[in-house]
A and B are shown apart, each in its own frame.
Chain A
Amino acid sequence: MFIHKSSAFRHAALACLFLGMSQAASAFTVCQVTDTGGIDDNSFNQTAWKGVLDAKEQFGIEGRFLESQAETDYEANLNSLIEGDCDLIVTVGFLLGDATQKAALDNPDQRFSIVDFAYDPVVPNILGQVYATDEAAFLAGYLAAGMSQTKILGVFGGINIPPVTIFMDGFVRGADYYNEQKGDSVSVLGWSIETREGLFTNNFDSLDDGRAFAQNLYDEGADIVLPVAGPVGLGSAALADELGIEKLKIIGVDADLYLTDPEKRHVYLTSIMKRMDATVLKTIEMARNDTFEGGVLVGALANGGVDLAPFHDMEALVPESLKSELAEIRAGIIEGRIKVAP
Chain B
Amino acid sequence: MNETQQTMSLNHLLKAQRGGRSRFEDLVVVPIFAVIVALILGALIMLATNVEPARIAQSYVALLEGSVGSLNAVSETLTAAAPLVLAGLGLALGFRAGLFNIGAEGQILMGGMAAVVVGFSFSSLSPMALLPLSLLAGALAGALYASIAGALRAATGAHEVITTIMLNLISYRLLDYMLRLPSVQKEGRADPISKSVPEAAELPRLLSAIDPNLRVHAGVFLVLLAVVVVYWILFRSKIGFEFRASGENAEAARFAGIRSGIVIVAAMATAGALAGLAGANQVLGVLGRATPGFSAGIGFDAIAVALLGRSHPVGVLLAGLLFGALEAGGRQMQVDAGVSIDLIGIIQALIIVFIAAPLLVRAIFPWGFRKTTGREG
Contacts and interface: CB of A to CB of B under 8 A. Distances in A.
A98 interface: yes
Contacts of A206: none
A17 B55 contact: yes
Interface stretch (B120-128, B151-159, B227-235, B289-297): B289-297
B260 interface: no
B215 A76 contact: yes
Interface string B67-82: 0000010001001100
Counting contact residues on chain A (CB < 8 A from B), the size range is 20 to 34
A25 interface: no
A72 B296 contact: yes
Contact of A84 (B176, B190, B335): B335
A18 B213 CA distance: 30
B334 A67 contact: yes
Interface in B183-239: 188, 190-193, 196, 212-213, 215
Contacts of B188: 120
Contacts of A46: none
A162 B58 contact: no
B60 to A, nearest CB: 11
Contacts of A38: 341
Given A64-B338, A72-B80, A77 B331 contact: yes
A20 B61 contact: yes
Contacts of A95: 191, 291
B359 interface: no
Interface in A10-49: 17-18, 20, 22, 36, 38
Interface in A137-190: 159, 161-163
Contacts of B134: none
B57 interface: yes
Contacts, number: 72
Q: Which secondary structure characterizes the binding site on chain A?
A: helix
Contacts of A80: 331-332, 335
Contacts of A77: 331, 335
A2 interface: no
A231 to B, nearest CB: 18
A71 B296 contact: yes
Contacts of B215: 75-76
Nearest to B341: A67
Counting contact residues on chain B (CB < 8 A from A), the size range is 35 or more
Contacts of A162: 190-191
A200 B52 CA distance: 48
A161 B192 contact: yes
Nearest to B66: A80
Nearest to B57: A20
A20 B335 contact: no
Contacts of B213: 79, 106
B58 A98 contact: no
B258 interface: no
Contacts of B80: 72
Nearest to B213: A79
Nearest to B285: A72
B54 interface: yes
B192 to A, nearest CB: 7
Interface string B286-308: 11110101111110000000000
A99 B5 CA distance: 72
B147 interface: no
A261 interface: no
Interface in A50-81: 64, 66-67, 69-73, 75-77, 79-81
B246 interface: no
Nearest to A77: B331
Nearest to A103: B213
B297 A70 contact: yes
Contacts of B345: 69
Contacts of B25: none
Contacts of B196: 98
A51 to B, nearest CB: 19
Contacts of A66: 331, 334-335
Contacts of B331: 66, 73, 76-77, 80
Contact of B76 (A18, A76, A81, A98): A76
B286 A72 contact: yes
Nearest to B186: A98
Contact of B341 (A17, A22, A69): A69
A36 B297 CA distance: 12
A80 B191 CA distance: 27
Contacts of B293: 71
Contact of B212 (A17, A20, A70, A106): A106
Contacts of A81: 335
B296 A69 contact: yes
A70 B296 contact: yes
A72 B282 contact: yes
Interface string B151-182: 00000000000000000000001001000000
Interface string A241-253: 0000000000000
Contacts of B289: 98
A104 to B, nearest CB: 14
A71 B294 contact: yes
B265 to A, nearest CB: 31
20 contacts: A17-B58, A18-B54, A20-B58, A22-B336, A64-B338, A66-B331, A67-B340, A67-B341, A69-B296, A70-B295, A71-B293, A71-B294, A75-B215, A76-B328, A77-B331, A80-B332, A81-B335, A94-B191, A98-B289, A161-B191
Given A161-B192, A163-B191, 14 more contacts: A17-B337, A22-B336, A38-B341, A69-B296, A69-B345, A70-B298, A71-B294, A76-B328, A77-B331, A77-B335, A80-B332, A98-B196, A98-B288, A106-B213
| 9 closest residue pairs by CB, A with B | A70-B296, A162-B190, A67-B341, A80-B335, A94-B191, A79-B213, A18-B54, A72-B286, A71-B294
